[in-house]
Amino acid sequence: MHTHLPGASLVPGSYDPSVLLTTAGMQQFKPYFFGYEQPPYKRAVTCQKCFRTSDLDNVGKTPRHQTFFEMLGNFSFGDYYKKEAISFAWEFITAELKINPHRLFVSVFNTDDEAAEIWNDTIGLPCEKIIRKGEEDNFWASGETGPCGPCSEIYYDLGENFGCKKSTCSYNCDCSRYLEIWNLVFMEFNRTEHGVLEPLPSKNIDTGMGLERITSVIQNVKTNFETDFFMPIIKRIEELAEKAYGTDEQLDTAIRIIADHIKSSAFLISDGVMPGNEGRGYVLRRVMRRAIRYGRLIGINKPFLKNLVSTIININQYYPELTAKQDFIRQTMEAEEHRFSNTLERGIKRLEDIIGEIINKGEYVISGEKAFELYDTYGFPFELTIEIAKEQGLSVNEAGYEEEMKKQVQRARAAGMFNAALKDIPIQSIEQSFPSTIFTGYDEIETKANILGAIKIPDKDNEIYLIFNKTPFYAESGGQVGDTGIIKVNDEVIFNVTNVQKLGDVFVHIINIPTPSMASALQNGTEVIALVDKERRDEIKRHHTATHLLQASLRRVLGTHIEQAGSLVCDSYARFDFTHLKAMDKNEISQVEALINERILNNISLCTRVMTLNQAKESGATALFNEKYGETVRVIDIEGFSKELCGGTHVLNTGETGSCRIISEEAIAAGMRRITLLAGNAAYKWSKARETLVENLAGNLKVPVNDLPVKIEKLQNLCAESEKEIGKLRSIIALSQSDNLLESVKESNGIKYIASVVDVQNTASLSKLAEHLLKKLGTGVVLIGFKDGKKANIILIISNDLVAKGLNANNLIKTILTECNGRGGGKPHFAMGGGDADKLEAALDLLQKLIS
């Protein structure tokens, strides 16, 4: 019997942090295949959600390629091997699925005589139906390094109406007649960074059968897209486009691309991925925007992605996360589609101009600079540029584009600073040289320890890095900062611990050395007393517990779509990043804050349990997808209100947190929000400072605190009335200059013009004065400006009769502003801009030259 396990998230967690997304059913079992962890079962079977972009260009254009697919698999961890795996597969396909065995044949690795014999002797498959292939086809690997081994693939013959249709077509033909339906991987090696194949601790089995592919065989349809997994989506797209699928190949391709991409997007969002510009967020944004563009190509000009969500959920009801987050999925899609609409229109218009220029020159390649301009200035995806160029028979200089990207990265690095506490430490040598540090800090803040290593970094005379056999100091991880404190040697010499970092399971203590000679006291084997700064640790604990209460409260107020995207917990504040599409209103923030403080007042005991990772997940504990967890984890349970996997330090009872105040809520990226909160003494000090501020304000305005709102409203009304009066006076003052200015009218080429520096306070007064002067002139040009500190503001206005004759304010002002290092623009009759104040006169003098 195999243990039936749920598939993992599309966002790989502790099992494989090296990849962006889950691409195969075996990924969640990597620790077992490597021998890092002992599996709790010998056999397993799963249906795994997978996402791949390696064949993105082929999606929709071939019968089988998809970005999202489901992989059926059975696995053995050092239990059964080739004979049993082959027998299980054959029995399932022929007896359970009742697929005609006469239409099946297999391939094996060219040196795998054992597998070939099993297929022939045990299964009874004729030798001519056992094809031997090389490493490219029949040696499976999870990547350039990692678990791998020879494999055996099972193929289904679709029949003579498929493929090349040549009389010579046989099992060795690469045409589409022969469909691979199952891959049996005999995983027995680990490929190192140097390409060496090392035996794994045990021989394992990893099989993968695409659910969509095998369904197309069972349902006797030509492509994966004609199965029950896609046809309802395709029919809905037909309705939205008002076009029939199956009538035009280009239309059909576009519909298939949309169907695949919208389905994959829904699953990615349900697993916590948000559209972004990096990593898996960029992958999601790319497929969503590709779907939007193909929607436009087939005539869907209104936002449509969200209208397909219900259909996807109806098809995939066995994935509860889709149903639970359906509203959030719709909102995310709607927001991204709205965001991309402007980008798409502006980018395509600019790309069309670029393509037109290239074709007119008789060229066929879009330069890397132009492609980068589209990406950098218009936000237009590079992949979309390539795709559209290819449709026009053009190519893109990808190397040139990459070079421009490198330049941008270098510019960004030059503008910023890079710093890491342990950037000079030889990380690998430390992890290999020292045993795991025993952490005693959950139970005590003072520990006797022995120095295992003292590392001196060149050019850092005032620092030394210490490694102990055990420590009460928490090392920075999981969003919580490292502890500080002191190290005592012989009860006499005291060193300050300024930070603690973690390299693997080794804690590195960064120690301040007052004088270089004192370092001699820190020798290997020396016993020390490690003492954590208790006051600071207590404040960190309060803030950490507050973030757990915050996440649970957000999920209750905003919805279960809330996922943690990052955090920072220190002694003076806590920062919490989470997925949410819009700003929280004051009422929502108040509700969240009230929920947190209610739990604090109830003084709930925190229950800490150590359990296996699977037990923790089964208990409903919240985990970070991208956090690497060990086989055993700590679960912090706050009376069922909050239950999270967490290795950090916490208070014993919520009452110790004191109180909590949310002091800000802001956007940090599309679909990402950030809350900053205060707990404990920090919350008290913040509230006290606010109270003092209000009392001082009431004292200055000479009213009781409770009367402040009324008093402030009266002052605001008074200010508004005063501003109106001031505005009127400014206009009168500005217009009073008109007589003198009209006396200075000049003429060139029969055109009257005024070009002068004027004395006004703002651009509104400047604009009124310019309009007044032009009205008095009747026909002509008015160019006036004023100085505001180091900046100059300029307005140019032209009468309609001169505009009709060819004068253009927008063009003129751009030339004029070059004289004062400025920028601006406008319409043919009115334009404005700004530049350097000390060059204003020179800029105004240009008008005569331009008119003449």
- Give a yes or no: residue 140 inside a domain: yes
Strand duo 395-396 + 365-366: pairing: parallel
| 668 shares its domain with 814 | no
- Give a yes or no: residue 664 inside a domain: yes
Distance of CA 582 to the CA centre of its chain: 16
Query: Can you give the CATH number for the domain in which 756 is found?
Result: 3.10.310.40
Q: Give me the number of domains the chain comprises.
A: 6
| Cα 225 from Cα 729, distance rounded (Å) | 72
Going by C-alpha positions, the residue among 465, 489, 490, 461 that lies closest to residue 475 is 465
| CA trace torsion 90, 95, 96, 99 (10° rounding) | 80
What pLDDT is stored for residue 176 in this prediction? 80
On the question of pLDDT at 220 being above 60, the answer is yes
On the question of pLDDT at 852 being above 60, the answer is yes
Asked whether the beta carbons of 795 and 777 are under 8 A apart, the reply is no
> Which pTM does this prediction carry?
0.64
| 629 shares its domain with 770 | no
What pLDDT is stored for residue 15 in this prediction? 60
Going by C-alpha positions, the residue among 657, 693, 691 that lies closest to residue 677 is 657
In degrees rounded to 5, what are phi and psi of residue 590?
-65, -40
What pLDDT is stored for residue 13 in this prediction? 67
Sequence-ordered list of residues with C-beta below 8 angstroms from that of 273, at least 6 positions apart, any chain: 10, 11, 280, 281, 283, 284
| 245 shares its domain with 208 | no
| Cα 696 from Cα 705, distance rounded (Å) | 9
- Give a yes or no: residue 538 inside a domain: no
| 775 shares its domain with 653 | no
| Cα 617 from Cα 624, distance rounded (Å) | 11
On the question of pLDDT at 428 being above 60, the answer is no
Query: Can you give the CATH number for the domain in which 682 is found?
Result: 3.30.980.10
Sequence-ordered list of residues with C-beta below 8 angstroms from that of 499, at least 6 positions apart, any chain: 421, 476, 482, 484, 509, 510
| Cα 181 from Cα 591, distance rounded (Å) | 53
| 809 shares its domain with 683 | no
**pLDDT digits 0-9 by tens, 462-505:** 888 999 999 999 999 889 999 999 999 987 789 999 999 988 78
| Cα 835 from Cα 848, distance rounded (Å) | 19
- Give a yes or no: residue 421 inside a domain: no
| Cα 307 from Cα 312, distance rounded (Å) | 10
| 622 shares its domain with 669 | yes
| 481 shares its domain with 442 | yes
User: Per residue, what are the HEC states of 684-710?
Assistant: HHHHHHHHHHHHHHHHHHCCCHHHHHH
What pLDDT is stored for residue 414 in this prediction? 43
**pLDDT digits 0-9 by tens, 346-396:** 788 888 888 888 888 888 899 989 888 887 777 777 878 888 888 888 889
Segment holding 288, helix H or strand E: helix 279-297
Q: Which of 193, 224, 255 is the last residue of a domain?
A: 224
Least confident of 341-355, 356-370, 661-675, 769-783: 341-355
Averaged pLDDT for residues 253-277: 92
What pLDDT is stored for residue 560 in this prediction? 86
The pLDDT-based confidence of 413 (bands split at 50, 70, 90) is: very low
Query: Can you give the CATH number for the domain in which 216 is found?
Result: 3.30.930.10
What pLDDT is stored for residue 629 in this prediction? 66
- Give a yes or no: residue 87 inside a domain: yes
Q: Which of 416, 441, 457 is the last residue of a domain?
A: 416
C-alpha separations of 648 from 206, 433, 466, 483, 569 in Å: 36, 26, 21, 11, 10
| 239 shares its domain with 220 | no
**pLDDT digits 0-9 by tens, 508-526:** 999 998 887 888 888 888 9
Least confident of 80-84, 559-563, 621-625, 788-792: 621-625
| 253 shares its domain with 321 | yes
**pLDDT digits 0-9 by tens, 618-662:** 788 887 655 666 678 899 999 989 999 999 999 999 999 999 999
- Give a yes or no: residue 710 inside a domain: no
What pLDDT is stored for residue 383 in this prediction? 78
| 192 shares its domain with 275 | no
Residue with tokens 């220190």: 570
Task: Give the pair of three-digit tokens for residue 566.
Answer: 């990052």
Task: Tell me the pLDDT of the chain averaged across its residues.
Answer: 88
| 608 shares its domain with 647 | yes
Averaged pLDDT for residues 814-842: 89
Q: Which of 224, 239, 265 is the last residue of a domain?
A: 224
The pLDDT-based confidence of 437 (bands split at 50, 70, 90) is: very high
User: Per residue, what are the HEC states of 389-432?
Assistant: HHHCCCEECHHHHHHHHHHHHHHHHHHCCCCCCCCCCCHHHHHH
DSSP 292-354: HHHHHHTT--S--GGGGHHHHHHHTTT-HHHHHTHHHHHHHHHHHHHHHHHHHHHHHHHHHHH
Residue burial 488-498, b: 16+ Cβ < 10 Å; e: rest: bbeeeeebebe
On the question of pLDDT at 847 being above 80, the answer is yes
| 19 shares its domain with 107 | yes
- Give a yes or no: residue 354 inside a domain: no
CB hemisphere CA count around 129 (13 angstroms): 19
- Give a yes or no: residue 573 inside a domain: no
Rg (CA), the chain: 35
Show the domain range for 376. Answer: 364-416
Sequence-ordered list of residues with C-beta below 8 angstroms from that of 371, at least 6 positions apart, any chain: 382, 385, 396, 397, 400, 401, 404
